[in-house]
Every structure is written in structure tokens, then in C-alpha cells.
Amino acid sequence: MPSLRHQRVRQLLKREIGEVIRREIPAGDVGLITVNDVGVAGDLQSATVFVGIIGTAEQQRKGVELLKKERLRIQDLVGRAVVLKYAPRLRFVLDDSVVRGNRVLEIGDCVGSQLGLALALQGQGKKVVCWNEDRLPQKLAFLDARNLMEPPSPGHRFDCVIAADSASFERLGKVGKCVQNRKLLLNIDHHASNTRYGDVNWVSARESSTGELIFRLLSVAGWPITPPIADCLFTAVSTDNFRLTHNDQIAWFKLKKADFARTGADTADAEGLIDHIRAIEPVVVACVFEELDPELTRVSLRSKSERINVSDIASRFGGGGHQAAAGARVPGKPLAVQRRVIAAITKALDAAG
């Protein structure tokens, strides 16, 4: 078991490195960087810093590159901030639990679209199989109460095959090989790079998820969106805008102005959203970022724990409220605001133990 001193050093380093990164690494093109954990060597002379970077693959790559470039400067600043005999040598690695989280979210659009559409087609009396090469992640198992999802198997004939959220035929993998015997292939996707491999292609890169296309399809067809279908499509469309972080204790959602314009929704339509994400089991703090202007974000906060007073957090950003519900309007670039607020929530959670 690590000694108490060892544990304290680890906590201390985690906090200070996080502080230095927040202060010194400019927000913007490298995504949201968080220090998830620090592994300290037994002699306390070197430390591995596990960083999470919330952003695109490109932002993650750039973020790690930047941290490596700035390593000595960060190490020096941390060394000055902590009172230790030796400031440990730092090494930055990307914590792939966050990457895995992102992957789950990517899968969310794919299986949410698949299952939502499969359920709707079943509702219309169609005989449906729902194939995916990857197994359904445990986190998303609730979407498939009827056990529709199966691995592909050869020897079937289809009147119609629908590919959802797949940019190319090759990406269908084994599924592609098992659907050769078919009359019609429909390709429904939102990737700009889609290779138009279907007999009918509905590719709309304006949408941030395939789930939105499925929603439109169901709406136009007049097929009922039952609660299980709604769960699937909500999961699918949340891909781009929703994150669970800090051991799933923080849930946050961002709403861009363009999302409102595109969907014809207004602020009132988004009102219940925060309670929805607050209800997720392990979540302690829920947060919604709403872009009011390119340089102004409305931040709403909800706490489920008496240990976390979100009004304290909001007041640090010029807002206020109550212990369990608070908010602020924060000027600055959206990504920078998100990063600062998530950092403040993280700090409050860490302090509350």
C-alpha cells in the first residue's frame, strides 16, 4: 500500500500540475486538458501525469505535443509551487479512459441510430435484424432491452440493408461481407468524408449526428417516437455535445447557437435538459453551457450533494444562486469558459473528497 506521504505528494502534484496547465496552456486549439491522475515513483523523483483531453483526435494529438514541448517549463513552475526536496521529473501521457469515453460516445451515435431505426421499423411490422461488429458497450446496454443487436452472420438474404453512421462500406467490416445478398442498400450518414457507397445515399454533413437524420426520417414518415426510441435517439444526438467526466461525477452538455437555429428550437426547449443529465446515477454535478453570443456563455449548475455548493462555484464566475442550483453568464471563448468551469467543479469535488 502506498504510504500516506506518497499519497499526499500525489494529490498535491495532481492539483498543482492542473493549476499550472490551466494557467499556462492557452485554451483553444488543443481541447480541454484535465489532469486525471498522477503516478509518483517510489523515490518521489519522477511522476507520470495522466491527462485527459476532451476534444477531437487532432486536438488530443496537439495537446499532448504541446505538453511535451512545455514539459520543462511546467515542471519548473510546479517545482516552485510545491514544497518538496526534489521537484519530480514529469512525463505526460494521454489517459485513454477519456479516449475510451469518447469512443463510447462515438459508438453512441452509431448504435443509437441503428437501434432507434430498428425499433421504428419493427413498429411498422417489418422483420428487422440489427448488426454491429462491435459488441454493445455495457454503458449502452439499456438501449437494447429487446436484444436486437447481434454480431453479423453469413447466409442471409435482405430486401433492404440500411447502413447508419458509417463513412465507407469498408468500415462496416464483417457486416459488409454478410449483406452481399440484398436488393437495396441505403446509406444514411453525417460524415463529410462519406464515400456514397449506397444505392441511395442520404449524407448530410450539416448534422452533428446520424441520430438527427433518423429523427427526421421518423418524423417525416409519421412513425411514432416511443420512449425507447427516444432514448436511442437522445443517446445518438448527444454524441457531440455531451460529456461525462471526472469518474462520471460531472456531466455536462453544451448548446451552440447554431444548434438552436438549425433545429428551430429556443432556450425554453432546453430547460429540462439539466435535470435529465443530473439524473444520471453517478453524477454529482450537472452543468449546461449555452452559447448566448460568440463570447458569452450562460452556465447552469446543479448539485446532487450537500458537499458541493454550486452557488460558490457560480459566484466565482460572477453569478450566484443556491446550494443545489446556480448559474452565471461568463464572458470569453466558449472552450475557455468550459475549461475554467469544469476545472472549478473538479476542484470542488476533489476538496469535498
* Span between the terminal Cα atoms of the chain, in Å: 19
Cβ proximity to Mn ion: between 130 and 348 the closer is 130
Query: Least separation, in Å, of the C-beta of 166 and Mn ion?
Result: 9
With CB atoms as reference, the residue minimizing the distance to Mn ion is: 109
Q: List C-alpha distances in Å: 301 to 5, 46, 284, 297.
A: 35, 37, 11, 13
Q: Where are the alpha helices (DSSP H) in 124-187?
A: 174-177
Neighbours of 151 (CB within 10 A): 12
Query: Least separation, in Å, of the C-beta of 163 and Mn ion?
Result: 12
Cβ proximity to Mn ion: between 75 and 210 the closer is 210
Cβ proximity to Mn ion: between 108 and 327 the closer is 108
Query: Least separation, in Å, of the C-beta of 110 and Mn ion?
Result: 6
d(CA 68, CA 33): 13
Cβ proximity to Mn ion: between 33 and 236 the closer is 236
Query: Least separation, in Å, of the C-beta of 283 and Mn ion?
Result: 24
Cβ proximity to Mn ion: between 21 and 111 the closer is 111
d(CA 194, CA 187): 9
CB of 209 within 8 A of CB of 232?
no
Query: Least separation, in Å, of the C-beta of 12 and Mn ion?
Result: 40
Residues in touch with Mn ion (CB under 5 A): 109, 165, 210
Amino acid at the residue 207? E
Of 98, 99, 77, residue with least CA distance to 13:
77
Q: State how beta strands 325-331 and 296-303 pair.
A: antiparallel
Cβ proximity to Mn ion: between 79 and 173 the closer is 173
Cβ proximity to Mn ion: between 85 and 206 the closer is 206
State the cell numbers at 186: 441505403
Cβ proximity to Mn ion: between 210 and 297 the closer is 210
d(CA 102, CA 83): 36
CB of 30 within 8 A of CB of 62?
yes
d(CA 165, CA 202): 11
Cβ proximity to Mn ion: between 105 and 277 the closer is 105
State the cell numbers at 279: 439524473
Query: Least separation, in Å, of the C-beta of 198 and Mn ion?
Result: 16
Query: Least separation, in Å, of the C-beta of 241 and Mn ion?
Result: 12
Q: Which helix (H) or strand (E) holds 53?
A: strand 46-54
Query: Least separation, in Å, of the C-beta of 100 and Mn ion?
Result: 17
CB of 62 within 8 A of CB of 29?
yes
Q: Does residue 250 sit in helix, strand or coil?
A: strand
Query: Least separation, in Å, of the C-beta of 243 and Mn ion?
Result: 15
User: Hey, what's the torsion of the CAs at 183, 187, 193, 195, to 10 degrees?
Assistant: 10
